[in-house]
Amino acid sequence: MVPSWSFLLPYLRPVLVGAGRWAVAGGVAGVLWTLLVPVLRARAESYEQQLAGDATLAVITCVAGVAVALHGLWFRSGPGVSLHFTGTVLGSALASAVAWGTGRVLGAPVLASAAVLVFWPMTIAFVTVVWTLAVTLLSPHEEY
C-alpha cells in the first residue's frame, strides 16, 4: 500500500504561498532594475556605466531588505519568530534570484559581480541583528 502524503498539505501550503510571494517580489524588483538602469547609465561617466547595472540592483535589493526586515521586526514576534526569520532570509534569496532572472529576460545588463545577489538576504540579516542588539542593550533590565 502506498502511503498518503496528504498530511503534509497543511504544512506545505504556507511554504508554497510564501515562495509565491517572494517570487512576485523578486519579479517586481527585476522590472524596477530593468527600468532604472538606462536612467543611471545616461547620467554616468564611461567607466561608471559598466557598474550601473550592479549598483542599481544592489540599491533596489538593499532597500527591499531593509523594508522586509523592519516589517518582520515590527509585525512578527513571539513563538516561531526564528523560523519566520529563516524563511524570510531564504525567501529573499529566492526573490533576489528571480529579480536577476526577470531583469536579464527584460534586457538588464549582465552583472559584473554575482555577489549583488546576496544583498537582499544579507541586508535582512544585518538589520535584524543590529535592531535586536540595540533593543537588548537599550531596554531597561534588572540587576541580579
2 within some domain: no
Cα dihedral across residues 34, 36, 41, 42: positive or negative: positive
Percentages helix, strand, coil for the chain, rounded to the nearest 5? 80, 0, 20
Distance CA 15, CA 20 (A): 9
6 within some domain: no
In this predicted structure, what is the pLDDT of residue 12? 75
119 within some domain: yes
Distances (CA, A) of 78 to 49, 73, 97: 46, 11, 30
pTM of the model: 0.82
Going residue by residue through the chain (144 aa), what tens digit of pLDDT does each one get? 566 777 777 777 777 788 888 999 999 999 999 999 998 888 888 778 778 889 999 999 999 999 999 888 887 777 777 777 888 888 999 999 999 999 999 999 899 888 999 999 999 999 999 998 998 888 887 665
68 within some domain: yes
CB atoms within 10 A of CB 28: 16
Count of structural domains, the chain? 1
92 within some domain: yes
Eight-state DSSP code of residue 4: P
Distances (CA, A) of 2 to 9, 12, 15, 48, 73: 17, 20, 25, 60, 43
β strands within 3-118, DSSP E: none
CB atoms within 10 A of CB 26: 26
7 within some domain: no
143 within some domain: no
Domain that holds residue 35: 14-137
